[in-house]
Structure 1
């Protein structure tokens, strides 16, 4: 009798749940892993610094980024552009404007282009991928037809080199900052569409989908309220990585002369393009904006890779 009682007590102890133990969500657990990842902390520090510079940069700039003071003061001469000094930390540019002030103010334009273009690609891509994924999950002749048509359109976009597609769109729409955002955003559409569609198709075979179906929940409701929310994690991670690519591609379009035609408005890619004729005498005109682009892209990449590693069980260390 005592043996039976002991077994019952042991089973009771194993099944008991402590009051202070609670389950955590996927994002909470991922955030804990990210906080312990040195690469993620470095990337986050870079991004925080970049965002702060973009927000308060115009307030910190010692001079107006459009003031051609060097020409007015007569210090800019043919073949001679003064370098760094105590008054001008990074020197003048070719039009006598303070390079440090332009670098600070240009961070805002660079961040704006990266965020807006990524949001364009994320929104349009998620719409296409969500519809295709829901159609594939619903099955039937109509669902398969919708999925096939949408994915063939995405395949055509993926078949074109990203930079060539962006240049073509920018050339058709005309040089402007808005054009750069649209062109870079369109380039990232097929990536988001393919990723979300694949995640939704994979989630459609989950046990929770089978349980909801057995309870009589409509397939369309399952796709929108169950499958779609559980498929967003890889898309959000990809958005972080795409921000880095968007900044680089926007700089490339500005470098090719397809960006903002107003050269007085500072932007890192445009500053790189303006510096090309003066590389022999003043390489710093190109080095400083290039380093800014590289470090910012590195920050987004480090954080994005850390998020992907934290959310994907196969990549967790």
Structure 2
């Protein structure tokens, strides 16, 4: 065999070897790599465990609660005017509230209302904010001078909303709409809109100069299709992370509105923020009535915060490798 043939054969063998290596070690997608890192993150595992327990309690709470959360079964044993309350005992693990209702049952059932308010509030902010951010980002990236003007107008309105304190804005919206659970959801959701809009718009601007966008333009792909099928899907990572963090914020802000008396007007329906507001009058004589819902809010918010921070680290390109 000649030297040329041997060299050619070696090159073919080397090419086959490299091909086999590339097939066995195929490139890992962003989300798959993030998932691998999340599985190794203690912070993510702790956050997921807390969230899983919270969701489980919220789903099965009404069926596993030992007593009706609205039934005043022990009304004759409680005398709030005299500062006499029943603490934890065998039949009532968390004691009784000021109306003789089982506090443990109310905390368990109240988890569902708290989860419902947090999730719907976050979804309102996410959907509307993402739509506004996508419109602004697409206009700024692919819309030319007209698009930049549209982007400027949208962002100035967003800046006005961001300039207002979030809780003050939520209280103002809730005061205008009236006292109800729906009011709390809408008020907290509206407060979240500018955050999602700004985040998605900034991510789309960062993706606008990427090579795949330039290649799509060179191939004559329509701008609308580039924005919807290329730029926006690659810009959603920080938005998803923010959605997880916003759940914690939504739960806290919803509890704050309920605490201020802007939540559900029906006191018989348990919700952690409402329970906290009802318990403040009796804090001196029965402090645990405030502690139980407050601890639930804190631990739940902590779970979503831990998971969100872990996702942020897992999706950070500076930390991958």
Fold match by TM threshold 0.5: yes
Moved more, 12-21 or 122-131: 12-21
Q: Where do 5+ consecutive residues of structure 1 fail to align?
A: none
| CA deviation map 1:146-203 (0-9, x unaligned) | 1011101100000000000000000010110000000000000000000000000110
Which among 17, 21, 34 is matched to residue 20 of structure 2?
17
Partner of 1:115: 119
Which among 262, 265, 282 is matched to residue 261 of structure 1?
265
Correspondence 1:120-131 to 2 at 5 A = 120-131=124-135
Partner of 1:68: 72
In 2, Cα distance between equivalents of 1:135 and 1:11 = 48
Query: Displacement, 1:22?
Result: 3.0
Correspondence 1:75-224 to 2 at 5 A = 75-77=77-79, 78=81, 79-224=83-228
In 2, Cα distance between equivalents of 1:107 and 1:193 = 29
In 2, Cα distance between equivalents of 1:196 and 1:85 = 51
| CA deviation map 1:206-236 (0-9, x unaligned) | 0000111111111111011100100011101
Query: Displacement, 1:16?
Result: 2.0
TM-score by length of 1: 0.96
Over aligned residues, Cα RMSD in angstroms?
1.5
Instruction: Work out the number of aligned pairs and report it.
Output: 315
TM-score by length of 2: 0.95
Q: 1:12 to 1:246 in 2, by over 3 A?
A: same
Pair 1:313-2:297 in alignment: no
In 1, Cα distance between equivalents of 2:105 and 2:11 = 75
Name the SS for the 2:183 alignment partner.
helix
In 2, Cα distance between equivalents of 1:60 and 1:230 = 43
Q: Where do 5+ consecutive residues of structure 2 fail to align?
A: none
In 2, Cα distance between equivalents of 1:83 and 1:316 = 52
In 2, Cα distance between equivalents of 1:241 and 1:293 = 14
Partner of 1:49: 53
Partner of 1:246: 250
Pair 1:231-2:235 in alignment: yes
In 2, Cα distance between equivalents of 1:194 and 1:183 = 19
Query: Displacement, 1:23?
Result: 2.9
Q: 1:297 to 1:172 in 2, by over 3 A?
A: same
Query: Displacement, 1:7?
Result: 5.6
